[in-house]
Structure 1
Amino acid sequence: MMPLWSAMAALSLLAAVFILWPLWRHRKQLQTNSASDSAAARLQENIALFREHMRDLDNALAEGRIDAEQYAQLKLEQERTLLDDEASARAAASQFNLGFGNRSLVFIAVLIIACGFLLYRELGSSADVHIQQLQVEKSRLDYQDLLHNRNPDPARTRAFIQELEERVEQEPDNLQYWFLLARNALEVADYAKAVTAYQRTLALDPGAAIVMAELAQAMFLRDQNQMSPAIAELAQKALQADARNTTALGLAGINAFQQEDFRAAARYWQQAVDIMGPDAPGARALQGGVARAQQEAANQSGGSEPAASGKSISLKVSLAEGVNAAADQLVYVYARAWQGSRMPLAITRIKVVDLPATIILDETMAMSTMASLAQADRVEVVARISEDGSATAKAGDWQVSAGPLEMEALPEVTELVIAEKLTE
């Protein structure tokens, strides 16, 4: 906080200078003018008296009451008196500077600075600046710990939580502080406190998908990894607000798995992996969950391939000669509406090493229950080898597409031979 207070002190002093300098100059000018006017008036009076005395001396000399020698001596005395009075008046004018005026200006300067500090304490954001500095310092120290292969010190997080709790008592409607408190409580496994803070955050921003998803996660952890209807409902609400929220997708997959809807679980988890990328933290665990859910779905259906649900499209995907792709690169296979939204209606992925392969896209592979093959009349099917593993097409990917395909008159198998390299 010292840099803040130092800056405030410097700015207050600067403000005092801007205000006091014109006042001081104006006061000096007034004092100088007043002193000059007073000295001039006194001098004029002295000159008038001198002239009057000289007239009296002239009359006395003319009437013979004094002789020439006395006249000369008296005249010299009057001239000396006039000169002394003039010097005294000028000296008084040059020294006309009341000590009270200087003290008043100093008092005004101190008052300006004091008022500035008091107003900032009442109306400013010094406490917010303090929280922001603590957060920056905590992030820096946590990063240093991670660089040295150490876990961040939980005592540091708890101290920050205490500061946040004091601040939310002062600002109970501050959404940012409640959210920050919730995340830090989650960091030190204080799940009850995290749930309370997330609930307060959600009350302030009821439509926030990220808050709903993280609240559901905190409740799940608080309940020792047990799913409940309330948690499942929150996860679904979060997905309705943001279909790409990976936290909500993970929880929805857990709920589906516990309900033995293994294909839905695999779909949710696969969507999360596609969004995060296969190399993202946590993606490997989700990929393991996808494989397990697919195996459970196969066991459930009594075969190695789960039966298609509702509308489906059968595709045979292969590589053309000359396609330069590594064996472990991902191949995204999906169907999307021929016109309208470009979001896939059904999507799955395999690896280049698995090609050629026959793939069935069906309604359970939709990214959203609001947009699946069930709502489509005509579709385009696409197979794309991703150069960087992401689900978004980029220059350098290899791709093939076919369409429009009429959903009511689909061929038994649609062949897709990947041969085109994307340039943009």
Structure 2
Amino acid sequence: MIPFLILATVLVAGALLLVVPPLLGGGSRAREQAHRQRQAETVLVVLREQLAELEAEHAAGHIAEADYQRSREELEQRALEEGRAAEGGADLRPARKWAVAVVVALPALAVLFYLALGEPRGLDPAQIAAQEEHQITPEQMSALVAQLAQRLEREPNDVEGWMMLGRSYSMTNDLEGAAATWRKLGAKIPDQADILADWADLLAGAAGGKFDGEPDRLIRRALELDPAHLKALALAGTAAFQREDFAAASAHWERILANMDPGEGVYGAVVASINEARAKGGMPLLEAAGPGAAPTGGSGGKGPRRGGAGAEEALKVSGRISISAELAAQVEADDTVFVFARPLEGGMPVAALRLRAGDLPASFSFENAPRMSKGPLPAQLSIGARLSKHGEATAQAGDLEGEPVNVAPDAANVEIVIDRLRN
């Protein structure tokens, strides 16, 4: 009885933790929406700066009328798009009354529903002791699994049933039964990556860990349906490793690694598997990355994939920004700090970030920042920062600036120090 009550309390508390924070404006959705709006507002500020520069160039006669009109239309269109992003989104203001109502009502409703639909006598220790004499035996479990397989023969489109059947065979370790069922019903299986990967795993286990034949076919189909499916990628890597295609094994596992946080417990194990394949294939080893970074490979080898053609164009510059001790006294916590990524020859920024001066020193990354210009990235970018005393991206006297740093689009550990006053 005590374990049940503890579990029920934990489940109710978990439900409240999922529901109440968004009502109070503290959910991930609210934070994500606020982040998108801040980034959109930053882009709008920079676009206004670009429009002012364009007007000045036109007034000075440095730009032809046709080029001026085309550039102005592009800026106006971009501003409209970002304006909709800044104004859009659901109303995410805190709903405290609803939060209080949920906190009070949810536990009460859970108790009422259990009393009405549950089995309160199941909390009685005497009842529990009596039921322990009637545990399901392995034979009974096998019979239940067989009944489920027969039902699926009549209802082959029952996706949940197929998932349950595969998991049941895994739990009972009945690999022969799984193989026999596949021979009978396999052609009727729904075309879904989760189900295909589970059955590939079962069939490979029934074949002594070999993936030749049907398991390989199922894995390939699962990856056609979902190229990022983690279990299918893991199985594909294992199958390639068995075939001694170590480059393919490493490539499949690296795609798993690209979606993992280096802080996860299994991250190191995945890196170790990749390095085993790379060592056997004569490729340079990966270096385990720190939190928030991606693993790196030696030069000349097949490093981690970046997701296909064009992925190398992703802007991934990251680093750290700080203010020199000499200027720290001139900074207020609510001052705005803009970080720009521009082509070396100047012009419109590729992307921009906005930070709060009170949070410095702080890390920054352009990986999720909206692009402000289209087309391929230049081989080198100029990364600069400006602390605005007026909250505007347009440079003004009295702003604090840092010396721009020229880096590659995927550079990491970039250090920017705001250390001079703009006159």
In our comparison, the structure showing a higher alpha carbon Rg is 1
TM range, normalised to the smaller chain?
Answer: 0.3 to 0.5
* Larger helix fraction of residues: 1
Which has the higher relative contact order, 1 or 2, with Cα contacts under 8 A spaced 6 or more apart? 2
Give TM-score scaled by structure 2 length.
0.39
Give TM-score scaled by structure 1 length.
0.39
